[in-house]
Structure 1
Amino acid sequence: ISFDPSTFSFTAEVDGTNPDDQILTISNVGMGTLNWQITETCDWLTVIPDNGSSTGESDAVIVSVDITNLSAGYYDYELTISDPCAMNTPQTVTVDLEVDGPIIELSDPNFYFFAEEGGTNPDDQILTVRNVGLGTLNWSITEDCSWLTVIPTSGSSTGEADAVILSADITGLSAGYYNYKLAISDPCAMNSPQTVFVNLEVLGPIIELSDTSFDFIAEEGTINPDDQILTIRNVGAGILNWQITESCSWLDVEPHSGSSSGETNAVILSVDIEG
Structure 2
Amino acid sequence: MNPLRGREISSTLVLLSALLLFGGCDIVGSETKSGPDPSLELSSSTVTFDEYTTEARLTLVLYNSDSLSWSVAERPNWLHVAPDNGVVRGRDQLSLRVDTTQIVGGTVASEPLILTSGEKKDTVRVTKEVPRPLLHLSTTSFHLDELRRSDSLTIESEYGHEIPWTIQHKPKWITVHQSDSTSVTASMSMSFTVDESLLPYGSDNSNQIDIR
**Normalised TM-score (structure 2):** 0.45
Greater strand content? 1
Using the size of structure 1 for normalisation, the TM-score is 0.35
In terms of fraction of residues, the more helix-rich structure is 2
